[in-house]
Amino acid sequence: MAGTHDAAGARGGAGAYEMTVRIIAGEFGGRRIKTPDSVRVRPTADRVREAWFSILQGSIPGARVLDLFAGSGALGFEALSRGAVSVDFVEKHAASVTAIHANAATLNVADQVTIHRTDAIRFAERLQPGAYDVAFADPPYAGDDVARLVELFRTTPFARLFSIEHASDRIIEGGDTRPYGDTALTFLESPLPPPTAPYRPLPPPL
Protein backbone atom coordinates (compact mmCIF):
# COMPACT_ATOMS: atom_id res chain seq x y z
CA MET A 1 0.00 0.00 0.00
CA ALA A 2 1.01 3.61 -0.45
CA GLY A 3 2.76 5.49 2.33
CA THR A 4 0.76 7.42 4.92
CA HIS A 5 0.00 11.00 3.90
CA ASP A 6 1.16 13.80 6.22
CA ALA A 7 -0.54 17.06 5.32
CA ALA A 8 2.00 19.10 7.33
CA GLY A 9 4.95 17.43 5.64
CA ALA A 10 6.40 16.22 8.95
CA ARG A 11 6.75 12.70 10.26
CA GLY A 12 6.89 13.70 13.91
CA GLY A 13 9.68 13.30 16.41
CA ALA A 14 10.89 10.24 18.24
CA GLY A 15 8.61 8.89 20.91
CA ALA A 16 8.68 6.18 23.53
CA TYR A 17 5.88 3.64 23.75
CA GLU A 18 4.89 2.16 27.09
CA MET A 19 1.21 1.51 26.43
CA THR A 20 -0.92 -0.14 23.85
CA VAL A 21 -4.67 -0.01 23.29
CA ARG A 22 -6.79 -2.78 21.82
CA ILE A 23 -8.98 -2.42 18.76
CA ILE A 24 -12.28 -3.80 19.95
CA ALA A 25 -14.08 -5.17 16.89
CA GLY A 26 -14.12 -5.44 13.13
CA GLU A 27 -11.35 -6.40 10.72
CA PHE A 28 -8.60 -5.58 13.22
CA GLY A 29 -10.46 -6.68 16.35
CA GLY A 30 -8.04 -7.79 19.06
CA ARG A 31 -5.02 -6.09 17.44
CA ARG A 32 -3.07 -3.66 19.61
CA ILE A 33 -1.80 -0.23 18.59
CA LYS A 34 0.82 1.98 20.20
CA THR A 35 0.10 4.91 22.47
CA PRO A 36 2.83 7.51 23.04
CA ASP A 37 4.34 7.78 26.50
CA SER A 38 3.10 11.27 27.24
CA VAL A 39 1.08 13.02 29.91
CA ARG A 40 -0.80 14.72 27.06
CA VAL A 41 -2.32 11.45 25.87
CA ARG A 42 -5.38 10.12 27.72
CA PRO A 43 -6.60 7.04 25.82
CA THR A 44 -10.36 6.54 25.84
CA ALA A 45 -11.22 3.63 28.10
CA ASP A 46 -12.16 0.41 26.30
CA ARG A 47 -15.65 0.34 27.78
CA VAL A 48 -16.32 3.92 26.64
CA ARG A 49 -14.92 3.26 23.17
CA GLU A 50 -17.02 0.10 22.90
CA ALA A 51 -20.17 2.03 23.88
CA TRP A 52 -19.22 4.85 21.49
CA PHE A 53 -19.00 2.52 18.49
CA SER A 54 -22.05 0.55 19.52
CA ILE A 55 -24.05 3.77 19.25
CA LEU A 56 -22.45 4.70 15.91
CA GLN A 57 -22.34 1.24 14.33
CA GLY A 58 -24.87 2.05 11.61
CA SER A 59 -23.01 5.18 10.51
CA ILE A 60 -19.42 3.90 10.24
CA PRO A 61 -19.42 1.54 7.19
CA GLY A 62 -18.43 3.53 4.11
CA ALA A 63 -17.94 6.75 6.08
CA ARG A 64 -15.35 9.48 5.64
CA VAL A 65 -14.14 10.00 9.21
CA LEU A 66 -12.43 12.87 11.02
CA ASP A 67 -10.52 12.21 14.26
CA LEU A 68 -9.74 15.49 16.07
CA PHE A 69 -7.25 15.52 18.97
CA ALA A 70 -6.37 12.06 17.67
CA GLY A 71 -3.67 11.02 20.17
CA SER A 72 -2.68 7.49 19.16
CA GLY A 73 -5.48 7.38 16.59
CA ALA A 74 -7.47 4.74 18.47
CA LEU A 75 -10.86 6.15 17.47
CA GLY A 76 -9.97 6.51 13.81
CA PHE A 77 -8.37 3.07 13.57
CA GLU A 78 -11.40 1.54 15.29
CA ALA A 79 -13.54 3.22 12.62
CA LEU A 80 -11.37 1.80 9.83
CA SER A 81 -11.63 -1.63 11.43
CA ARG A 82 -15.42 -1.33 11.30
CA GLY A 83 -15.64 -0.31 7.66
CA ALA A 84 -14.87 3.40 7.32
CA VAL A 85 -13.29 4.19 3.94
CA SER A 86 -10.89 6.89 5.13
CA VAL A 87 -9.76 8.75 8.23
CA ASP A 88 -8.19 12.18 8.62
CA PHE A 89 -6.25 12.33 11.89
CA VAL A 90 -5.58 15.78 13.39
CA GLU A 91 -2.92 15.92 16.07
CA LYS A 92 -0.26 18.53 16.86
CA HIS A 93 2.11 16.64 19.17
CA ALA A 94 5.11 14.95 17.58
CA ALA A 95 5.04 11.76 19.66
CA SER A 96 1.39 11.19 18.84
CA VAL A 97 1.96 11.84 15.13
CA THR A 98 4.78 9.29 15.20
CA ALA A 99 2.47 6.77 16.88
CA ILE A 100 -0.26 7.29 14.29
CA HIS A 101 2.22 6.71 11.45
CA ALA A 102 3.46 3.53 13.17
CA ASN A 103 -0.05 2.26 13.80
CA ALA A 104 -1.15 2.88 10.20
CA ALA A 105 1.85 0.91 8.99
CA THR A 106 1.22 -1.92 11.45
CA LEU A 107 -2.40 -2.26 10.31
CA ASN A 108 -1.46 -1.79 6.63
CA VAL A 109 -4.00 1.00 6.15
CA ALA A 110 -1.65 3.84 5.18
CA ASP A 111 -3.47 4.51 1.93
CA GLN A 112 -6.71 5.19 3.84
CA VAL A 113 -5.12 7.63 6.28
CA THR A 114 -4.16 11.30 6.13
CA ILE A 115 -2.36 12.86 9.09
CA HIS A 116 -2.61 16.60 9.68
CA ARG A 117 -0.02 17.77 12.16
CA THR A 118 -1.74 20.92 13.32
CA ASP A 119 -3.97 22.33 16.02
CA ALA A 120 -7.39 20.66 15.98
CA ILE A 121 -9.34 23.86 16.61
CA ARG A 122 -7.61 25.72 13.77
CA PHE A 123 -8.21 22.72 11.49
CA ALA A 124 -11.93 22.64 12.35
CA GLU A 125 -12.23 26.38 11.78
CA ARG A 126 -11.28 25.89 8.11
CA LEU A 127 -13.73 23.08 7.36
CA GLN A 128 -16.72 23.36 5.04
CA PRO A 129 -20.19 21.96 5.76
CA GLY A 130 -20.40 18.24 5.04
CA ALA A 131 -16.66 17.70 4.74
CA TYR A 132 -17.00 14.37 6.60
CA ASP A 133 -19.67 11.81 7.36
CA VAL A 134 -18.61 11.13 10.95
CA ALA A 135 -16.35 13.21 13.20
CA PHE A 136 -14.84 12.32 16.57
CA ALA A 137 -13.14 14.58 19.09
CA ASP A 138 -11.40 13.78 22.35
CA PRO A 139 -10.02 17.15 23.51
CA PRO A 140 -8.50 17.86 26.93
CA TYR A 141 -11.20 17.95 29.57
CA ALA A 142 -9.90 21.22 31.00
CA GLY A 143 -10.10 24.43 29.01
CA ASP A 144 -12.47 25.68 26.33
CA ASP A 145 -11.78 23.26 23.46
CA VAL A 146 -15.02 21.32 23.96
CA ALA A 147 -17.17 24.46 23.90
CA ARG A 148 -15.31 25.86 20.90
CA LEU A 149 -15.74 22.67 18.86
CA VAL A 150 -19.44 22.51 19.62
CA GLU A 151 -19.80 26.17 18.60
CA LEU A 152 -17.93 25.54 15.35
CA PHE A 153 -20.04 22.50 14.53
CA ARG A 154 -23.29 24.37 15.10
CA THR A 155 -22.10 27.23 12.91
CA THR A 156 -20.58 25.04 10.18
CA PRO A 157 -21.71 21.41 10.48
CA PHE A 158 -18.56 19.80 9.13
CA ALA A 159 -19.93 16.25 9.48
CA ARG A 160 -23.27 14.51 9.36
CA LEU A 161 -22.69 13.25 12.89
CA PHE A 162 -20.25 14.72 15.42
CA SER A 163 -19.45 13.02 18.74
CA ILE A 164 -17.22 14.40 21.45
CA GLU A 165 -15.78 12.99 24.69
CA HIS A 166 -15.77 15.28 27.71
CA ALA A 167 -16.01 15.37 31.49
CA SER A 168 -19.39 14.19 32.70
CA ASP A 169 -19.97 17.37 34.71
CA ARG A 170 -19.91 19.49 31.53
CA ILE A 171 -23.33 20.19 30.04
CA ILE A 172 -23.71 20.45 26.25
CA GLU A 173 -27.15 21.81 25.49
CA GLY A 174 -29.08 20.26 22.62
CA GLY A 175 -26.94 17.16 22.33
CA ASP A 176 -27.56 13.51 23.10
CA THR A 177 -25.26 12.94 26.10
CA ARG A 178 -24.40 9.53 27.54
CA PRO A 179 -22.47 9.47 30.87
CA TYR A 180 -19.92 6.77 31.75
CA GLY A 181 -18.63 7.58 35.21
CA ASP A 182 -16.41 10.67 35.05
CA THR A 183 -16.57 10.62 31.23
CA ALA A 184 -19.45 11.49 28.94
CA LEU A 185 -20.06 11.28 25.20
CA THR A 186 -22.24 13.83 23.45
CA PHE A 187 -23.64 13.25 19.96
CA LEU A 188 -24.68 16.10 17.69
CA GLU A 189 -26.48 15.66 14.38
CA SER A 190 -26.57 18.17 11.54
CA PRO A 191 -29.30 18.90 8.98
CA LEU A 192 -27.15 17.99 5.97
CA PRO A 193 -28.24 16.22 2.78
CA PRO A 194 -28.07 12.40 2.89
CA PRO A 195 -24.48 11.29 3.62
CA THR A 196 -22.38 9.06 1.41
CA ALA A 197 -22.65 6.27 3.98
CA PRO A 198 -25.94 4.72 5.11
CA TYR A 199 -27.16 6.65 8.12
CA ARG A 200 -29.43 5.63 10.94
CA PRO A 201 -30.72 7.87 13.76
CA LEU A 202 -29.13 7.42 17.16
CA PRO A 203 -30.69 4.65 19.23
CA PRO A 204 -32.40 5.72 22.46
CA PRO A 205 -30.40 5.51 25.72
CA LEU A 206 -30.43 2.11 27.40
> pLDDT (tens digit, 9 = 90+) per residue, 190-206?
876 554 444 444 555 54
Q: What is the pTM of this model?
A: 0.85
Give the model's pLDDT for residue 38: 56
Give the model's pLDDT for residue 199: 41
In this predicted structure, which of 102-116, 135-149, 164-178, 185-199 has the lowest mean pLDDT? 185-199
Domains contained in the chain, CATH given = 5-189 (3.40.50.150)
Percent of the chain with pLDDT over 70: 81
Percent of the chain with pLDDT over 90: 71
Q: Is the pLDDT of residue 168 over 70?
A: yes
Mapped to the 3 state alphabet, what secondary structure does the chain carry?
A: CCCCEECCCCCCCCCCEEEEEECCCCCCCCCEEEEECCCCCCCCCHHHHHHHHHHHCCCCCCCEEEEECCCCCHHHHHHHHCCCCEEEEECCCHHHHHHHHHHHHHHCCHHHEEEECCCHHHHHHCCCCCCEEEEEECCCCCCCHHHHHHHHHHHCCCEEEEEEEEECCCCCCCCEEEEECCEEEEEEECCCCCCCCCCCCCCCCC
Q: Is the pLDDT of residue 117 over 50?
A: yes
Per the DSSP assignment, residues forming a β-bridge with 123 are: none
Q: Is the pLDDT of residue 153 over 70?
A: yes
